[in-house]
């Protein structure tokens, strides 16, 4: 029988701690290997999960279990409020401790969301939009792949730093949503509404955006490449350093647009009221 273990030289005694596995994370093999070889490096997935590392148990350490994709082993981590693995231990056979539905998947420091997780986030957002509780949809630094978000009301949702791959957004309302630094690839987004959304530093590649409404959006430093922009309305947008690549065959409306973000933002702000 062969297992992996970290043995220490001439230990006088072993005093194990009581640990509560509060959350479970799975990383792709290459990222797990990088994590395992550099435990003192700050990791965004640790930062994201820090608020959850709480326990009501006395003399118990709230920990996260980091699993390797395709492996039964993992690393137990107690970050102690930091963004790196301040305390850690290799655990052979760790996967059997975690129910599959508890495992959160991350890739390139992005949390990979399942369809069920996305549906729950959207349902809570609907309640939040109608002042019935719930919470604002937060997809920041998440990876959404092969997800259908068509005909949804995602007004004011947060997608900063996210990656959307092969996501359907047909006829979805993402007005006032934030996509700062987000990447959209191979997405179907025909007829969607993005009034006053923020796409600063975003990348849109190989997407069908036809008949969509971008009026009043901030597209500063954004890249839109090889995408269908037929009958797209981009009136009153900020297009400072916006790059349009391979979209020459499509006609889209860009009247009243600005190429100066500071000037454009000042024009969007409501006038000061004086009495």
Q: Are 130 and 123 in contact (CB under 8 A)?
A: no
All CATH 2.160.20.80 domain ranges of the chain, comma separated, are 114-275
Mean pLDDT, rounded, of the chain: 90
Q: Which CATH architecture has domain 114-275?
A: 3 Solenoid (2.160)
Q: Is the pLDDT of residue 215 over 70?
A: yes
Cα separation of 76 and 63, whole Å? 7
Q: In this structure, what DSSP letter does residue 114 have? A: P
Q: CA 140 from chain center: how many Å?
A: 3
Q: Region 194-205: what's the mean pLDDT? A: 95
Whether the predicted pLDDT of 271 surpasses 60: no
What pLDDT does 269 receive? 62
List, for residues 150-186, the tens digit of each pLDDT value. 999 999 999 999 999 999 999 999 999 999 999 999 9
Pairing type for strands 243-245 and 223-225 reads parallel
pLDDT in tens, 48-74: 788 889 877 888 999 999 999 889 999
Q: What is the maximum span of the chain, computed from C-alpha positions, in angstroms? A: 83
Kindly tell me the number of DSSP H helices and DSSP E strands found in the chain. 4, 14
* DSSP secondary structure of 241-253: T-EEES-TT--EE
* Residue pointed to by tokens 């792949």: 145
The more confident residue out of 224 and 2 is 224
Share of the chain above pLDDT 70, in %: 96
pLDDT tens profile 87-112: 999 999 999 988 887 888 877 778 89
Structure confidence at residue 200 as a pLDDT band (50, 70, 90): very high
What pLDDT, on a 0 to 100 scale, did the predictor assign at position 252?
Answer: 78
φ, ψ for residue 198, nearest 5 deg: -110, 110
pLDDT level of residue 79 (50, 70, 90 thresholds): very high
């Amino acid at each position: 029988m062969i297992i992996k273990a970290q043995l220490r030289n001439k230990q006088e005694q072993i005093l194990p701690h009581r640990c509560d596995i509060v959350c479970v994370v799975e990383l792709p093999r290459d990222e797990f290997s990088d994590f395992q070889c550099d435990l003192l490096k700050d990791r965004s997935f640790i930062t994201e999960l820090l608020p959850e590392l709480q326990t009501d148990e006395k003399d118990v350490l709230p920990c996260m279990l980091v699993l390797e994709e395709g492996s039964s082993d993992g690393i137990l981590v107690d970050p102690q409020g930091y963004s790196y693995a301040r305390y850690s231990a290799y655990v052979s056979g760790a996967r059997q401790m975690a129910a599959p539905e508890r495992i959160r998947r991350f890739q390139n420091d992005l949390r990979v969301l399942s369809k069920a997780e996305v549906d729950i986030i959207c349902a809570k957002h609907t309640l939040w939009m109608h002042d019935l509780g719930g919470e604002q949809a937060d997809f920041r630094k998440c990876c959404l792949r092969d997800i259908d978000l068509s005909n949804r009301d995602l007004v004011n949702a947060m997608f900063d730093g996210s990656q959307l791959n092969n996501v359907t957004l047909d006829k979805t309302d993402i007005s006032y949503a934030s996509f700062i630094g987000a990447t959209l690839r191979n997405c179907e987004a025909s007829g969607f509404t993005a009034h006053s959304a923020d796409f600063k530093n975003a990348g849109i590649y190989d997407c069908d955006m036809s008949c969509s409404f971008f009026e009043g959006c901030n597209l500063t430093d954004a890249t839109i490449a090889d995408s269908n922009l037929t009958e797209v309305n981009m009136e009153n947008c900020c297009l400072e350093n916006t790059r349009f690549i391979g979209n020459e065959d499509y006609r889209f409306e860009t009247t009243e647009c600005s190429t100066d973000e500071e000037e454009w933002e000042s024009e969007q702000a409501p006038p000061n009221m004086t009495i």
